[in-house]
């Protein structure tokens, strides 16, 4: 399987920004651009200064975003790693890939994926970092996997082995003190070294690299100076609190109870966990800068398209929670997404479009000059990124989904969290469990409005501008009846337009698609 698209950062200095602006020439088919997808794991989108956050968590990424195209209405397909990542490499929603949980990667259903198209288009391919999909080593020219416990390779040296043993000791939770060593031991630094060596070994052929950092996902840990950069007492106030779990419902309360059993003392340490998360963002930002510097040093930067995004978000303290688990709240489903490189028009302000992680694969197809495969449900962003006209109505809303199906498990079903495997010994807690992941849920966003619905008929309507934490349900408010009806119709339209077309009719009928894979008749 092939993953596509480059994710790069812009220079903070004026000279660096000038260099970025100078490379805005569209790629020709004679010289296809390299693509790097710089993906991080579990980054909440609104903790960036470009979005109005008062702290400089990722200044380099912010500067690069303003030299390209960036989105503040970008969404994952589902707030769990395997469904979201499978959507990225296939361009299909989880209901179509049939991968609706972290335990169904091998069930992925599609015709061709990102890596297939990249190889067919003459690209050398690489995975450096976290996979968490069905993709196997044979799909790539270079395979260098890392995960939350470290590097899965015999190539690592004694320093790397020692650090990875330390990561294992965190039991996928946290270290509330500074991590041992410095940034050179951390996974993002080592990944940049590995990726740079591979790029330096190439013979000039275009390459597609999925550079997939397993952080700022738990285990929450970072070394100095990042550990001390954002003291707990300096962090902005949260939009919500633990008391708001009563408003959000039983599943949020159950999630907190499980978390308290598995991560003893997590509520008391919430501010420190938030502080470490912020430090992890800055550490990643510095390695993003290093990666871009390596591209420049090796002379490939000017012909490289860089995409920076996350697979999903993290509560980071909202509702008194960390990690992820239940719901389709903005902190979990809205993701950072920014593009820069040759042919991409720069804008200091965010794109107005509502876009999705499923749109990445068809966009790469157009970059590579390849036909978008059958069954792809995402829309190409390439005309938009190049500053060309596109149907704004196509991108006026977006959908996301959650749940592996069936009926919801509730408190009435019992609460033996240990027997199910949600809670274990040594500070272990798996937030993706039967209680948090059962059922089926959808959301649609249009402008400042958001509608969520589940299979039990629980419908909620929120105005995100006035209610970013989604605590005030307006679904039954007469004043907003027209909004409710419009978003209900939109959600139905999304559901019908993304019904899986595979398998296509075997004869006679011709299947009609838009050249950019737009879904809706304008």
Half-sphere exposure at residue 21, Cβ-oriented, CA atoms within 13 angstroms? 11
216 prior amide bond cis, ω within 30: yes
The position carrying tokens 């990225």 is: 88
- The 3-class SS string of 24-65 reads CCCCECCECCEEEEEEEECCCCCCCHHHCCCCCCCHHHHHHH
Ranges 50-64, 93-107, 409-423, 427-441: which has the least confidence? 409-423
Residue 145: in which H helix or E strand, if any?
strand 142-147
Q: Are 440 and 300 in contact (CB under 8 A)?
A: no
Vertex 267: Cα angle to 265 and 272 (nearest 5): 90
Which among 356, 393, 312 has a CA at the least distance from the CA of 93? 356
pLDDT tens digits, one per residue of 254-266: 999 999 999 999 9
Q: What are phi and psi of 192, to 5 degrees?
A: -60, -40
pLDDT tens digits, one per residue of 307-361: 999 999 999 999 999 999 999 999 999 999 999 999 999 998 999 999 999 999 9
Q: What are phi and psi of 448, to 5 degrees?
A: -85, 0
Q: Which two tokens stand for residue 396?
A: 């006026």
Classify each residue of 74-89 as buried b or exposed e, where b means 16 or more C-beta atoms within 10 Å of its C-beta.
bbbbbbbbbbbbbbbb
Q: Are 453 and 487 in contact (CB under 8 A)?
A: no
What helix, strand, coil percent values describe the chain, rounded to 5?
Answer: 35, 15, 45
pLDDT at 414: 83
Q: Which CATH architecture has domain 14-497?
A: 3-Layer(aba) Sandwich (3.40)
Sequence-ordered list of residues with C-beta below 8 angstroms from that of 27, at least 6 positions apart, any chain: 33, 303, 305, 342, 343, 367
Q: How confident is the model at residue 29 (pLDDT cuts 50, 70, 90)?
A: very low
221 three-state secondary structure = coil
Q: What are phi and psi of 305, to 5 degrees?
A: -90, 130
pLDDT tens digits, one per residue of 501-510: 999 999 999 9
Which DSSP string do the residues of 59-114 spell out, in sequence order? HHHHHHHTTSEEESSEE-SSSSHHHHHHHHHHT--HHHHT--STT-GGG---S--H
Q: Do strands 69-71 and 439-446 pair parallel, antiparallel, or not at all (unpaired)? A: unpaired
Q: Are 117 and 373 in contact (CB under 8 A)?
A: yes
Gap between the Cα atoms of 362 and 166, Å rounded: 40
Contacts of 368-373 with CB under 8 Å at 24 or more apart are 368/4, 368/32, 368/117, 368/118, 368/121, 368/123, 369/29, 369/32, 369/121, 370/117, 370/120, 370/121, 372/91, 372/513, 372/517, 373/91, 373/110, 373/111, 373/112, 373/116, 373/117
169 three-state secondary structure = coil
The position carrying tokens 């609706």 is: 100
pLDDT tens digits, one per residue of 402-458: 999 999 999 999 878 999 999 998 889 999 999 999 999 999 999 999 999 999 999
Average pLDDT over residues 456-473: 97
For residue 505, the tally of other CB atoms under 10 A from its CB is 9
Q: Do strands 124-129 and 74-75 pair parallel, antiparallel, or not at all (unpaired)? A: unpaired
For residue 104, the tally of other CB atoms under 10 A from its CB is 17
pLDDT at 30: 56
Gap between the Cα atoms of 296 and 403, Å rounded: 43
pTM for the model? 0.93
Average pLDDT over residues 16-22: 38
pLDDT tens digits, one per residue of 132-191: 999 999 999 999 999 999 998 877 788 899 999 999 999 999 999 999 999 999 999 999
């Amino acid at each position: 399987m092939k993953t596509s698209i480059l994710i790069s950062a812009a220079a903070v200095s004026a000279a660096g920004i000038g260099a970025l602006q100078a490379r805005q020439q569209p790629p020709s088919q004679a010289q296809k651009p390299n693509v790097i997808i710089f993906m991080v794991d579990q980054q909440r989108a609104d903790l960036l200064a470009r979005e109005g956050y008062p702290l400089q968590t990722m200044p380099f990424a912010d500067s690069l975003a303003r030299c390209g195209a960036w989105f503040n209405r970008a969404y994952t397909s589902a707030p769990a790693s395997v469904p979201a990542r499978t959507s990225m490499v296939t361009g299909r929603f989880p209901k179509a890939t049939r991968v609706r949980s972290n335990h169904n990667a091998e069930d992925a259903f599609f015709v061709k994926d990102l890596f297939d198209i990249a190889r067919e288009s003459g690209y050398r391919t690489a995975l450096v970092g976290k996979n968490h999909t069905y993709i196997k080593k044979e799909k790539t020219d270079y395979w260098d996997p890392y995960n939350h416990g470290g590097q899965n390779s015999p190539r690592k040296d004694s320093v790397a082995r020692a650090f990875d043993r330390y990561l294992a000791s965190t039991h996928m939770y946290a270290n509330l003190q500074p991590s041992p060593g410095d940034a050179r031991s951390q996974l993002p630094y080592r990944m940049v070294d590995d990726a740079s060596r591979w790029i330096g070994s190439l013979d000039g052929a275009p390459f597609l690299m999925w550079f997939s950092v397993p952080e700022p996902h738990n285990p929450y840990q970072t070394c100095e100076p990042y550990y001390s950069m954002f003291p707990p007492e300096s962090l902005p106030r949260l939009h919500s609190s633990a008391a708001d779990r009563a408003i959000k419902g039983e599943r949020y309360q159950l999630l907190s109870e499980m978390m308290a059993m598995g991560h003893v003392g997590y509520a008391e340490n919430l501010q420190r966990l938030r502080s470490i998360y912020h430090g992890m963002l800055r550490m990643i930002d510095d390695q993003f800068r290093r990666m871009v510097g390596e591209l420049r040093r090796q002379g490939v930067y000017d012909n490289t398209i860089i995409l920076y995004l996350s697979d999903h978000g993290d509560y980071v303290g909202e509702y008194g929670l960390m990690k992820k688990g239940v719901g389709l709240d903005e902190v979990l489903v809205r993701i950072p997404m920014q593009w820069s490189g040759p042919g991409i028009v720069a804008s200091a302000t965010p794109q107005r479009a509502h876009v999705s992680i499923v749109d990445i694969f068809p966009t790469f197809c157009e970059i590579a000059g390849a036909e978008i495969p059958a069954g792809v449900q995402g829309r190409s962003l390439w005309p938009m990124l190049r500053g060309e006209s596109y149907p704004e109505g196509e991108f006026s809303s977006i959908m996301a989904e959650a749940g592996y199906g069936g009926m919801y498990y509730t408190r009435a079903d019992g609460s033996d969290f240990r027997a199910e495997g949600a809670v274990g010994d040594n500070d272990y807690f798996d937030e993706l469990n039967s209680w948090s992941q059962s059922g089926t849920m959808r959301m649609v966003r249009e402008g400042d409005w958001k509608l969520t619905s589940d299979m039990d008929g629980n419908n909620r309507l929120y105005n995100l501008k006035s209610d970013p934490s989604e605590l005030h349900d307006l679904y039954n408010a007469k004043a907003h009846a027209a909004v409710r009806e419009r978003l209900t119709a939109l959600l139905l339209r999304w559901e019908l337009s993304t019904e899986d077309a595979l398998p296509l009719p075997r004869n006679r009928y011709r299947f009609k698609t838009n050249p950019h894979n737009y879904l809706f008749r304008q």
